[in-house]
Chain A
């Protein structure tokens, strides 16, 4: 009986109720129908306690660090560095766009931040060189999904917390898949560049010039080294690493590069606070939802049902890819992970899929969904930044999406891609 909260939840969601309220309303309504009023209190309590968590604090911190880096003109130095390396290739700025996203991903955990920061800089530059606006916007949106795959990553922090995984393990597992998405996109850029005769951005830089560009980008490029190095060496928890990233961004923005002013800080703090407040409420509501998921024994029922379809784990994973892809078309990655993690995670780990591997499948699959129509968050941001219509960008992005779907399949069916680094470093046994 209680299990009916799932369809009720889906209906409420489809007619547009904000996810936060849906996560509470549907289980609450069914508990009430069932005469389990006292358990509605459990919903409230888990909402509160779900937010009262030290690991979750990494979310506001990484958001803050990303904002500070961006205001501090650090993005610009990353782009110049990427240009020095790849600008001379055919389709140079398109390559620079992808490489910048990979570098930016090491500082920021958000695809939206990537699109708005890099897009506002690179889309006009690409247009000036003769790329069409829709192509520039499309490659910006497509490459921005690398942001939450290469660590740090907001959605991985959320997944790890809601599902009781290690943040560090997920971070490490995301490195290779993120790089693969980047290389895949570059490959597609090359194919298109040869075919459509894309412009070359600049002459080939000398190694001396490249050295200079890398010196200028040295401080921002050190951020992922500090974050990952600290976590890997077991010196910091991810939350502490995030706080250190904030301090690091402040110091280089205010004192080293002097591109940040103290008067900008309240605004930066407010933006990071507002965004993370929404995410934290959502995570809290997910913990309430999860309580009713366990009370209703939903994963057990679901596993039984799924096993009547097929017992082949590879086929099941394929079906999950499809499901996640469709969900990703309508829902942002964060809420989707919050809703589906507690339901699907236990099912697949009981089928023998490693929990970290499954986490990466979900994160990458849903992150790519950020760039798919009709509800692709980064498509909207790319549209806002470029002035191009969403539907136009959605069409131009298709070849890149195809690449990303191939990468998703590779990650899904070759566990070693994601699991090798966390295994070697001992974060997964």
Chain B
């Protein structure tokens, strides 16, 4: 139990830190999306000169926003689920069922991370983006065309973070089953709604 609590505490710190960094990058990404689309609208309708990159750049930001912020929502119980049917179960049975469900989600994520790695490093990742370049010299005269893999990493990183969170949730359930509820750090619930 002591060793278990040490792992729980460590993971609590690791996940808390990683997800906080993720949320901040996500905040910047959301702002950048808005700016990119406004630039697009301005150039197209006001200057009559459509730019090639805002669409793809905004999608780039949106994918990273999703990968980096969704794990926070998962940790806070923000993934939609039907909990009415199982709510009537006795506490112990409920905890065991939850462990089973967490095992299912961990399986999904583990398979996902393996496929994801193959995807990022495979043919699809080698595709070039249509319009994204980064400068490779300080004089801005050499430009490197961004490969699609830079966008595809977003989901892979997201799944990796979800796995960390999933393991943390499993450990919390186990500790709780062993009667250590009071010692558990709370995974502070923030408000996460749906599209409704």
A45 interface residue, CB < 8 Å from B? yes
Per-position binary interface string of chain B over residues 52-85, scored 1 when its CB falls under 8 Å from any chain A CB and 0 otherwise: 0001001100110110111011100011111111
Given known A16-B81, A52-B151, contact A333–B34 (CB-CB < 8 A): no
Complex CA–CA separation, A265 to B112 (angstroms)? 34
Closest to A156 in B: B195
- Dominant secondary structure at the A interface: helix
B38 interface residue, CB < 8 Å from A? yes
B196 touches A334 (CB 8 A): yes
Complex CA–CA separation, A303 to B133 (angstroms)? 48
B86 interface residue, CB < 8 Å from A? yes
Interfacial chain B residues near A113, Cβ < 8 Å: 193
A154 interface residue, CB < 8 Å from B? yes
Per-position binary interface string of chain A over residues 110-124, scored 1 when its CB falls under 8 Å from any chain B CB and 0 otherwise: 111100000000000
Report the stretch among A70-78, A92-100, A316-324, A367-375 that lies at the interface: A367-375
Complex CA–CA separation, A53 to B63 (angstroms)? 9
**Set A21, A54, A275, A280: member contacting B192, Cβ < 8 A:** A275
Complex CA–CA separation, A24 to B104 (angstroms)? 10
B104 touches A12 (CB 8 A): yes
B14 interface residue, CB < 8 Å from A? no
| Chain A 130-170 residues near chain B, CB threshold 8 A | 148, 154-155, 157-158
B108 touches A25 (CB 8 A): yes
A266 interface residue, CB < 8 Å from B? yes
A236 touches B73 (CB 8 A): no
Interfacial chain B residues near A25, Cβ < 8 Å: 104-105, 107-108
Complex CA–CA separation, A109 to B30 (angstroms)? 18
**Set A17, A64, A155, A274: member contacting B195, Cβ < 8 A:** A155
Min Cβ gap A165→B in Å is 16
Given known A235-B45, A274-B72, contact A282–B63 (CB-CB < 8 A): no
A377 interface residue, CB < 8 Å from B? yes
Q: Enumerate 22 A-B pairs (CB-CB under 8 Å) in ascending A order.
A: A14-B82, A19-B80, A41-B119, A44-B116, A47-B112, A48-B155, A52-B151, A54-B55, A113-B193, A148-B195, A154-B194, A247-B34, A269-B30, A269-B31, A273-B27, A273-B65, A274-B72, A274-B78, A274-B192, A277-B69, A277-B73, A278-B80
Which 5 pairs across A and B sit closest by C-beta, in order of nearness?
A154-B195, A18-B79, A243-B37, A277-B69, A334-B195
